[in-house]
Structure 1
Amino acid sequence: MQSKSIQTKVQAFGRFLSNMVMPNIGAFIAWGLITALFIPTGWLPNKNFETLVPIILTYLLPILLAFTGGKLVYKERGAVVGSIVVMGAIAASPNTPMFLGAMILGPLGGYVIKVFDKLIDGKIKSGFEMLVNNFSAGIIGLILALIAYEFVAPFLHLITQFLTFGVQFLISNNLLPLTSIFVEPGKILFLNNAINQGIFTPIGIQQAKDLGHSIFFLIEANPGPGVGMLLAYMFFGKGTAKQTAPSAIIIQFFGGIHEIYFPYVLMKPRLILALIAGGMTNVFILTIFKAGLIAPASPGSIFAVLLMTPKGSYIGVILSVICSAAVSFIISSILLKLEKSSKEDNLEEAQNKMKNLKNESKGVPNQEIDYSTIKKIIVACDAGMGSSAMGAGLLKKKLNNKNIEIESYNTAINDIPKDADLVITHKDLTPRAKETADHAHHLSLNNFLDNSFYDELIEKILSFGSHKTAQDNLDKSHEEEQDQEQCFQISEKNIFLQRKESNKEDAINFIGEQLVNLGYVSEEYVEGMHAREKLVSTYLGESIAVPHGTIEAKEFIKHTGILFCQFPNGIQWGDDEEDIANIVIGIAAQGDNHIQILSSITNALDDENSLEILKNTHQKTDVLNILQPNNE
């Protein structure tokens, strides 16, 4: 259990490093191309353009890393403070690229401003929020930048020198090929991006600055070992593995998607030996020819590799790909031929195993949950208004129908309670939810109205047996709180039928305009609605979408308001082609007093006739009768 926890923490750390670098790969590639083209030994030497090389390396790339790291910790405010802080380290060591500093100081700046904001939350007088926000970021950034200049930068400079010495020691003693012993198994555990972008890229940039290229850009990214193993499957494999290997080779070698070959290794774990040998051959050849790349090859396609190869390294790089593929092919072939079993290779089972590993590496674990211990289920979304409210309503209804004694309601991700046992979120929001509630179990879904998801959850809960009791002993405190607040009444002024907007941007603009006109929100809230849509689609399924603002946009809500909008022709709302919304519920909610309306819509899902009426009716009274049957 402890080793599993350590592995999870390592994966989380690796993801964080990778998530800092990956969004900025384009900038690294731009720097690499400029270097390869315009330095004196480049393809098109140019003294003017050459001046871009040290400027991008010293300032742009570290600031981008710090900005991204700070943003991962605390959104825009964290990004700004993180960027200010790293400038202190850059100014103190202008001749040393501060990549290590950026990856430490960026997140640190984000964390400090986050802690500060929590300390002053609710203590600022109305009207002074913007003043405090702006000056606190500037002052905290200034203080941290000065600390970075005086104390952190000299320490980081020593670490950078130590790492440089270590790299040179490995190279001069021909020990660098041994890195493949760790790299190749790490890739299969989906640490490939963390290894390549989080570790090798910063080291490689430092080496490329001094030598004009770096071997570290090609240790993990070389497509040769994977291609060799797939070629062995193509000639000596069995069943679907043999049939699919040729297409996998094309995807991996030319497309650069190394993950395509992971299932083939998981089918026969002994093949990791072939990949390690191929990886060691790759590094050995590169070391012998003193070859490398000028910048990261991302993705690891042969095209990207050749594009990032500088003059003088082509022979070494091409040979490293060919030789590593040959060694991997020979060893894989021997291992496959020694396989005595006549059973066909089960590629589908291996792909499922790979999917589980990938989910765990992304923080969406396929965990075994003891449902007998679940007492409180939270359905969470970004702002806790619409998507999660309807999902929680659907789940609560199913729990009540089965007399299952589990408390369930919805919240914003930032407000997940400490006593939550199980948290349900959209798959794109689960990593954030885990950061907020790492004490709880987590399940992910694609849309909040997925009946099959909740039915399967109910079956699993019932299989443990201990929850099937009367509802008398439920903790009613949250429900009573909601009952006191559920007083919002929808009227004809909140209903808009037969709308003709053709896309969701126009629909959101219309809904936002009506929320403003009815006095529910200020104009800034509409921008928050668009921002929320970019974060994760508010399409729920069953032809329903519930656009609303982000958690930050809640400050622009004056009163709780809900709009019912009908689009008979449908609007493409979600990510898939079939995600067509006919019913769009615009929400601006301060508390939980909008839940009753959303519950009525959820109940309508069980009645096809009611749902069809809501989609097509020309009469506002029909909508009122369904959403508020007791409304007079």
Structure 2
Amino acid sequence: MVEDNDAPETPTGSPVKADRLRSTAQRFGGFLAAMVMPNIGAFIAWGLITALFIETGWMPDERLAVLVDPILLTLLPVLIGYTGGQLVHGQRGAVVGALATVGVVAGADIPMFLGAMVVGPLAAYVVRVFDRLAEPHIHAGFEMLVNNFSAGILGGAMAIVAMLGIGPVARTVTEALGDGVQFLMDHGLLPLVSLLVEPAKILFLNNAINHGVLGPLGVVRSAETGKAIEFLIETNPGPGLGILLACLFFGPKISRATAPGAIIIQFLGGIHEIYFPYVLAQPRLLLAAIGGGVSGVVTFMTLDTGLIATPSPGSIIALMTVAPPGEHVAVLTGVGVSTLVSFGAASALLGFGRGESSKRKRQDFAGPRHRIS
């Protein structure tokens, strides 16, 4: 009796589930990247304007500095919501996604990038479902009327839902993160503060954490001892620099193209927000940010260093300016360690660029190809 060795084997069990989970995670990450990465140019423009024209920038100009908040609080979230809506349902989805994002922007006084990444695609999906249900019943000649009114009504409704629903949630998250940081500081668990600070930064809550919690604590300590490590926790440019370097050497093509400009804006200009989209596009890089933050705090504690005041903006030049006499090497060492740790972790998480040869992973960053049907 001859065995049929050519019969195909059907894999079963946990390997199949693991493959499905991995594939789902890759598609989800690719979709997030497709929302964020096409708008990197706008983030760089904002970073340049901020680094140059704010009060503590290189060329302070009150008239031009008024551009900073509208771009950060309104334009950038709307662009992300627009792009997410376009991925889900084309131009109609883009318009409705942008409209709904305005609702979430109006409902919060912090940058609502995470909210835009949720409400933009969600609003477009609602319109897509409506179109599929209504299209067979629309009489000839009424298509434009129905399409315009449906987009207006559904987009307006989603804007109201976003304003009343996601805005309060964002405020709650901000307050909870601030309370968590305060608790860890009060109990002497300083390195663990980065477990909250780094995720909060990626959600663009860095100013709330720094000026609302770490800054006041640092002022008290600096008045007593002449320096404060609290001023180095959120403003340390090392974790962001390491992630951007990893994206430069091992990231997807679009990341490699934009990373050099982002590095200059982040490390020399002190605008940390410029690297947040790279992490939002690939959430696993948050682990690298946390690792860099923790290692930096441990190094600063070991060397018993701190700053005299909050560096603003958080550039390496500003850090050196407010470092106590004789502490510059210690501060640079902490920044260097955090950069190396975050770079190593981010490089490993990016697979040291091996995945770039795969067509599927290249398509993770090709926006139009991620349209959901």
The verdict on how the C-alpha distance between 1:67 and 1:278 changes in structure 2, with shifts beyond 3 A counting, is closer
Is 1:96 matched up with 2:120? Answer: no
Counterpart residue number, 1:30: 45
Selected match of 2:98 from 83, 101, 113:
83
Write the mapping of 1:231-630 to structure 2, written as runs, cut at 5 A: 281-282=295-296, 284=298, 309=315, 312-313=318-319, 319-320=333-334, 322-323=336-337, 354-355=354-355, 358-359=358-359, 361=361, 431-432=369-370, 435-436=372-373
Residue deviations 1:224-283 (CA, integer Å, cap 9, x gap): 9969xx9xxxxxxxxxxxxxxxxxxxx9x97999xxxxxxxxxxxxxxxxx998785456
* AA of the residue aligned to 1:207: N
User: Does the 8 A contact of 2:96 with 2:155 survive in 1?
Assistant: yes
User: Does the 8 A contact of 2:42 with 2:76 survive in 1?
Assistant: yes
Alpha-carbon distance in structure 2 between the residues aligned to 1:216 and 1:101: 26
Counterpart residue number, 2:127: 113
Counterpart residue number, 2:225: none
The verdict on how the C-alpha distance between 1:108 and 1:292 changes in structure 2, with shifts beyond 3 A counting, is farther
Selected match of 1:143 from 147, 157, 166:
157
The verdict on how the C-alpha distance between 1:177 and 1:163 changes in structure 2, with shifts beyond 3 A counting, is closer
Counterpart residue number, 1:123: 137
How many residue pairs get aligned? The number is 281
Counterpart residue number, 1:57: 72
Counterpart residue number, 1:162: 176
Which structure has more relative contact order (CA 8 Å, sep 6+)? It is 2
Alpha-carbon distance in structure 2 between the residues aligned to 1:105 and 1:432: 17
Q: Secondary structure at the match of 2:94?
A: helix
Alpha-carbon distance in structure 1 between the residues aligned to 2:132 and 2:362: 27
Instruction: With the length of structure 1 as denominator, give the TM-score of the two structures.
Output: 0.37
The verdict on how the C-alpha distance between 1:280 and 1:173 changes in structure 2, with shifts beyond 3 A counting, is closer
Counterpart residue number, 1:577: none
Percent identity of equivalent pairs: 38
Shift of 1:15: 2.2
* AA of the residue aligned to 1:147: V
Q: Secondary structure at the match of 2:318?
A: coil
Q: Whose radius of gyration is greater, 1 or 2? A: 1
* AA of the residue aligned to 1:134: N
* AA of the residue aligned to 1:7: R
Counterpart residue number, 1:222: 242
Alpha-carbon distance in structure 2 between the residues aligned to 1:328 and 1:162: 26
Residue deviations 1:538-579 (CA, integer Å, cap 9, x gap): xxxxxxxxxxxxxxxxxxxxxxxxxxxxxxxxxxxxxxxxxx
Q: Secondary structure at the match of 1:40?
A: coil
User: Does the 8 A contact of 2:174 with 2:208 survive in 1?
Assistant: no
* AA of the residue aligned to 1:123: H
Alpha-carbon distance in structure 2 between the residues aligned to 1:128 and 1:430: 29
Q: Secondary structure at the match of 2:124?
A: helix
In structure 2, runs of 5+ residues without a counterpart are 1-14, 212-232, 250-256, 264-288, 321-327, 345-350
Alpha-carbon distance in structure 2 between the residues aligned to 1:116 and 1:284: 54
User: Does the 8 A contact of 2:85 with 2:94 survive in 1?
Assistant: yes
Shift of 1:49: 2.1
Alpha-carbon distance in structure 2 between the residues aligned to 1:33 and 1:24: 15
Residue deviations 1:340-364 (CA, integer Å, cap 9, x gap): xxxxxxxxxx99x923885554568
Shift of 1:320: 4.9
Alpha-carbon distance in structure 2 between the residues aligned to 1:82 and 1:17: 15
The verdict on how the C-alpha distance between 1:19 and 1:328 changes in structure 2, with shifts beyond 3 A counting, is closer
Q: Secondary structure at the match of 2:87?
A: helix
In structure 1, runs of 5+ residues without a counterpart are 180-195, 231-250, 258-274, 295-307, 332-349, 365-426, 437-632
* AA of the residue aligned to 2:37: M
Alpha-carbon distance in structure 1 between the residues aligned to 2:31 and 2:73: 22
Shift of 1:46: 2.4
Shift of 1:286: 7.8
Q: Secondary structure at the match of 1:222?
A: helix
Alpha-carbon distance in structure 1 between the residues aligned to 2:29 and 2:300: 26
Report the structure, 1 or 2, having the larger helix content: 2
Residue deviations 1:400-421 (CA, integer Å, cap 9, x gap): xxxxxxxxxxxxxxxxxxxxxx
* AA of the residue aligned to 2:192: L
User: Does the 8 A contact of 1:38 with 1:45 survive in 2?
Assistant: yes
User: Does the 8 A contact of 1:85 with 1:145 survive in 2?
Assistant: yes
Is 1:173 matched up with 2:190? Answer: yes
Q: Secondary structure at the match of 1:122?
A: helix
Residue deviations 1:368-419 (CA, integer Å, cap 9, x gap): xxxxxxxxxxxxxxxxxxxxxxxxxxxxxxxxxxxxxxxxxxxxxxxxxxxx
User: Does the 8 A contact of 2:34 with 2:367 survive in 1?
Assistant: no
The verdict on how the C-alpha distance between 1:66 and 1:289 changes in structure 2, with shifts beyond 3 A counting, is farther
* AA of the residue aligned to 2:46: W
Report the structure, 1 or 2, having the larger strand content: 1
The verdict on how the C-alpha distance between 1:75 and 1:317 changes in structure 2, with shifts beyond 3 A counting, is farther
Counterpart residue number, 1:419: none
